[in-house]
Structure 1
Amino acid sequence: MREVIKNGKSIDEAIEQALEELHATLDQVTIDVLEEPKRGLLGIGAKPAIVKVILKENPIEKAINYLRDIVEKMGVIVEIKATQHDERNVECQLTGDDLALLIGKRGHTLNALQYLTNLVANKHSDHKLKIVLDAENYRARRKESLEILAERMAHKAVRNRRKVKLDPMPAYERKIVHTVLQPNRHIKTASEGEEPHRYVTISPES
């Protein structure tokens, strides 16, 4: 965490000098006024304003550094490219060798890494952040396979007139299933169970 102490004829002047040295904007820092300026009498006894300006930790950088540390401890060397789509949504692409180890069976390892990365990011952020990790285009391939699975299980539910229960999956994967089946008026979907074992059920409409 970087911080500087600056003085100036006014508080604003001292803050401006600090921001210039930190190469930061007001929303990226916290400000502590240590001394108010005093004019004195005829210039005698005048005192400058003194401020301490602290550069806030970037929650996204903090989370990515945490992710990089975990991955390196797993013995995998990766390059992490973060793309911030807006103030709340960030996508991280992992590239390198042995990415299958980071993805894991049905993406379980990748999902766990994503969960931990989001925990760290939101611990240091003043607003909700959503970081999505992807490797070898896994998310797109997983989305396609979930859509195929959803259609197949919906057909099975209608054919057998019985509710079908899918394996537990994270919220964004459940959303894929709900979305792809939403236009199907012959079935209804629901999420049941408790996290992290929450799952989707597909039931025929009576």
Structure 2
Amino acid sequence: MDMELVVSGPTIEAAIQAGLAQLGVPREAVEIEVLDPGSPGFLGIGAREARVRLVVRETAAPLPGPAPEQIEEAVAHAISGLLASLGIQATLSVAPETVEGPEERGNYSIWTVRIEGPTASRLIGRHGRTLYAFQTLARAIVARRLGAFIPLVVDINGYRAKRAEALRRLALKKAEQVMATGRPVELEPMPAAERRVIHMALKDHPKVTTYSIGEGEERRVVIAMRWTSEGNA
């Protein structure tokens, strides 16, 4: 469920605040990584902006305040408004859901919005990019309305399950390619949620391993041979 953002600013703190405003989350809901502290240069020559990466924690929970009924109303209002502004007629359901997280973090709760309608698929885009942008906008609207970050996932016409299955098949296919050639394979850039599907699909694979490279929208998964002290496992 991670959201992540790489943002620049004249100082580290300015970059952090700009990123929090774009994500619509409080500071305590994110992990902050300073990619470049920046430099004022000399008399303005060689000045360089600071760059930080903000990652919303999977376990980030709403700040104390909004009741479940308020959250459901705010989410439904935000999504309905966005759909109406885009001229899309669809039905939607909003409900809390418990999701199985990584072993070190445990399960966590999210609010799931399921949108169904013949024209709603216009919001998916290539490999779900439009859907993720729509979801980010919805999260920001709800966060501003309630004054709290709400873990929110949007699905359209069952796209997420279909995409996850396609990604799992891709992961296994590329794993076979890596084993056949011995060379690592870089996948195309993916959102954090999709990268996690790849990682989870191959986490117990005896021959290959996975890791991520790149920043922001260019972050991608690499599948490579798993090596041990005894050689290729």
The TM-score normalised by the length of structure 2 is 0.59
Q: How far apart, in 1, do the equivalents of 2:224 and 2:66 lie?
A: 50
Q: How far off is 1:127 after superposition?
A: 5.5
Structure-2 change in CA distance of 1:168 and 1:73 (3 Å): same
Partner of 1:65: 77
Partner of 1:97: 118
Q: Cα deviations across residues 90-141 of structure 1 (Å, max 9, x unaligned)?
A: 0101012212201122111111111112223334556542211111111111
Question: Which stretches in structure 1 are left out of the alignment for 5+ residues?
Answer: 1-25, 30-56
Q: How far off is 1:75 after superposition?
A: 1.7
Count matched residues. 154
Structure-2 change in CA distance of 1:28 and 1:90 (3 Å): closer
Q: How far apart, in 2, do the equivalents of 1:28 and 1:66 lie?
A: 15
CA contact (8 A) 2:199 2:210 kept: yes
Larger radius of gyration: 1
Given the alignment, which residue of 166, 178, 182 partners 1:157? 178
Partner of 2:97: 85
1:196 alignment partner, SS class:
helix
Partner of 2:136: 115
* Aligned residue runs from structure 1 range 178-193, under 5 A: 178-193=199-214
Q: How far off is 1:173 after superposition?
A: 1.0
* Aligned residue runs from structure 1 range 17-96, under 5 A: 58-85=70-97, 88-96=109-117
CA contact (8 A) 1:59 1:124 kept: no
2:164 alignment partner, SS class:
helix
2:210 alignment partner, SS class:
strand
Question: Which stretches in structure 2 are left out of the alignment for 5+ residues?
Answer: 1-63, 99-107, 228-233
Q: Cα deviations across residues 19-71 of structure 1 (Å, max 9, x unaligned)?
A: xxxxxxx9559xxxxxxxxxxxxxxxxxxxxxxxxxxx935533442332222
Partner of 2:150: 129
Partner of 2:195: 174
Q: How far off is 1:183 after superposition?
A: 0.9
Give yes or no for the alignment of 1:203 onto 2:224.
yes
The TM-score normalised by the length of structure 1 is 0.66
Q: How far apart, in 1, do the equivalents of 2:144 and 2:175 lie?
A: 39
Q: How far apart, in 1, do the equivalents of 2:138 and 2:166 lie?
A: 25
Question: RMSD of the alignment, in Å?
Answer: 2.5
CA contact (8 A) 1:60 1:121 kept: no
Structure of higher RCO (CA pairs closer than 8 Å, 6+ residues apart): 2
